[in-house]
């Protein structure tokens, strides 16, 4: 393998995270038509395997304070009267999808994210789930999950989730260093995390996961090691260990600290290796990009069974043909393309009142989009792509790039597949980009965070 430091320098460039293909900035929005999208959605629903069911993502964007590292679409407010209006808008939006489907869908996967979903009080969360789940058929192998904040996820929230069949919950931890927490404006004592994990276990949640981030301001090797030490005492079933995406041109809140406060490129990678090594020693298995799971967890089992999937919700154990996103800025996905909702809360609510889908923009697949998407999914989930698929989309220049990566020890090309090596998973986003036909469109635009 080529010198590791040289490879890090070469490949630590802005690259998409490939939670979709094409990625949102690459969508051909000028060719998108909302009516055509609805027709394609109905076609996808009619063609979908009923045994698979559909997935549903609900975006609850409200937060009481701004975490400056965050790149999500949020609405900062302490006014909780917004909750009931927003629930009404969500159900108006769902009614529009019901009219498109014309039959009651089978719900396989439900994920509630934000924002801070536990901004909503337990009664309103119960009201939303009761209304929604009464209007679907629930798949016998359903999986329901929610993202919670350790500070404001209370027993009452967990009771509501338990009542509605939730077995998975994720907590945004990010980092446990007081200095780092102060810099990113997210103060959450370890005691709060410990409390809510214990309460979740008591209610029978079978998968508790933590989100951690490396590359944050003022992080050091010692602080990351200490965060991991504390986290591992709680033995979460899954851990996501993400690279901090520094995009202050998109998220002005990230200008709350200086670039000099962030770890340099090599130091940032060392932070990751520090955390990764401790997770591996503690019995966690690396899953795809950024994810780790204990061997009893369904994410690990899905990977071993070749059923791991990836979409806008991250890695998932289910692979449905349709993902519907409800709420401001949510993204829906079918085999035919994508559509993203209006980002502003008030505009989203106004669309519902007018009986219109709150779609802002989208992309309808054309040409070999679907094949390239399948290749990128297979690489990011399973570390290989079938050689016949690769040959169907690569040109001479792309093949040269793959062969160069093979010489660098990042992948192997043989008669049946392109396979990513263990070392190559560090550079998986770069490998995926070889198959990105839209990559050249973004060369002169500052859009993505760095790969490593």
* Known binding-site residue numbers for S-adenosyl-L-methionine: 57, 69-71, 114-116, 147, 174, 186, 211, 245, 331
Three-state SS across 162-224? HHCCCCEEEEEEECCCHHHHHHCCCCCCHHHHHHHHHHHHHCCCCEEEEEEEECCCCCCHHHH
CB atoms within 10 A of CB 98: 14
Backbone angles phi, psi at 361, to 5 degrees: -160, 170
* Integer CA distances (angstroms), 374 to 368, 384, 408, in order: 10, 11, 25
Give binding residues as ranges. 57, 63, 67, 69-71, 114-116, 147, 174, 186, 211, 245, 331
Structure tokens at 84: 């009931």
Rounded distance between C-alpha atoms, residue 126 and residue 354, angstroms: 26
Nearest alpha-carbon partner for 298 in 284, 289, 312, 308:
308
Give binding residues for [4Fe-4S] cluster as ranges. 63, 67, 70
Rounded distance between C-alpha atoms, residue 218 and residue 299, angstroms: 32
| Cβ 264 vs Cβ 214: under 8 Å | no
Which class for 356: exposed (0-12), middle (13-18), buried (19 or more C-beta within 10 A)?
A: middle
Rounded distance between C-alpha atoms, residue 437 and residue 417, angstroms: 20
Report the DSSP beta bridge partners of residue 420.
411
3-state helix, strand, coil split of the chain in percent (to 5) is: 40, 20, 35
Q: Please, which residues have CB within 8 angstroms of residue 397's CB and are 6 or more apart in sequence?
A: none
Rounded distance between C-alpha atoms, residue 275 and residue 223, angstroms: 10
Calculate the CA 86 to chain-centre distance. 23
Nearest alpha-carbon partner for 72 in 201, 213, 205:
213
Give 272-304 as a DSSP string: HHHHHHHHHHTT-EEETTTEEE-TTSHHHHHHH
Rounded distance between C-alpha atoms, residue 350 and residue 369, angstroms: 33
Straight-line distance from the first to the last Cα atom of the chain, in angstroms, rounded to the nearest whole number: 18
């Amino acid at each position: 393998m080529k010198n590791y430091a040289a490879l890090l320098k070469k490949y630590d460039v802005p690259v998409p995270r490939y939670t979709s293909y094409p990625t949102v900035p690459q969508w051909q929005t000028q060719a998108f038509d909302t009516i055509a999208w609805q027709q394609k959605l109905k076609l996808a629903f009619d063609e979908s395997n009923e045994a698979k069911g559909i997935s549903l993502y609900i975006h609850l964007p409200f937060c009481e304070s701004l975490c400056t590292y965050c790149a999500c679409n949020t609405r900062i407010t302490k006014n909780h009267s917004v909750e009931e209006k927003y629930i009404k808008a969500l159900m108006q939006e769902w009614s529009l999808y019901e009219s498109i489907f014309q039959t009651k869908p089978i719900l396989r996967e439900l994920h509630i994210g934000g924002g801070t979903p536990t901004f909503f009080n337990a009664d309103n969360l119960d009201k939303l789930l009761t209304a929604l789940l009464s209007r679907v058929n629930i798949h016998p192998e359903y999986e329901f999950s929610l993202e919670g904040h350790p500070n404001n996820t209370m027993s009452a929230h967990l009771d509501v989730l338990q009542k509605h069949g939730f077995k998975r919950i994720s907590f945004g931890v990010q980092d446990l260093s007081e200095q780092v927490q102060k810099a990113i404006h997210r103060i959450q004592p370890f005691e709060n995390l410990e409390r809510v994990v214990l309460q979740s276990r008591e209610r029978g949640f079978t998968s508790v996961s933590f989100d951690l981030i490396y590359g944050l301001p003022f992080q050091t090797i010692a602080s990351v090691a200490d965060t991991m030490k504390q986290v591992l005492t709680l033995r979460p079933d899954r851990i996501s260990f993400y690279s901090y995406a520094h995009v202050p041109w998109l998220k002005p809140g990230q200008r709350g600290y200086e670039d000099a406060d962030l770890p340099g490129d090599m130091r940032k990678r060392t932070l990751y290796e520090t955390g990764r090594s401790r997770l591996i020693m503690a019995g966690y298995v690396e899953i795809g990009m950024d994810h780790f799971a204990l061997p009893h967890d369904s994410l690990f089992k899905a990977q071993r069974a070749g059923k791991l999937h990836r979409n806008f919700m991250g890695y998932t154990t289910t692979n449905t043909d349709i993902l519907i996103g409800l709420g401001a800025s949510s993204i829906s996905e079918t085999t035919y393309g994508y559509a993203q909702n209006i980002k502003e809360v008030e505009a989203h609510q106004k669309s519902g009142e007018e009986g219109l889908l709150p779609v802002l923009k989208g992309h309808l697949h054309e040409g070999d989009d679907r094949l390239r998407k399948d290749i990128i999914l297979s690489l990011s989930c399973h570390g290989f792509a079938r050689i016949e698929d690769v040959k169907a989309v690569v040109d001479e220049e792309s093949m040269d790039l793959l062969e160069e990566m093979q010489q660098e020890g990042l992948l192997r090309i043989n008669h049946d597949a392109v396979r990513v090596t263990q070392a190559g998973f560090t550079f998986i986003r770069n490998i995926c980009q070889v198959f990105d036909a839209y990559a050249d469109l973004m060369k002169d635009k500052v859009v993505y965070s760095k790969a490593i």
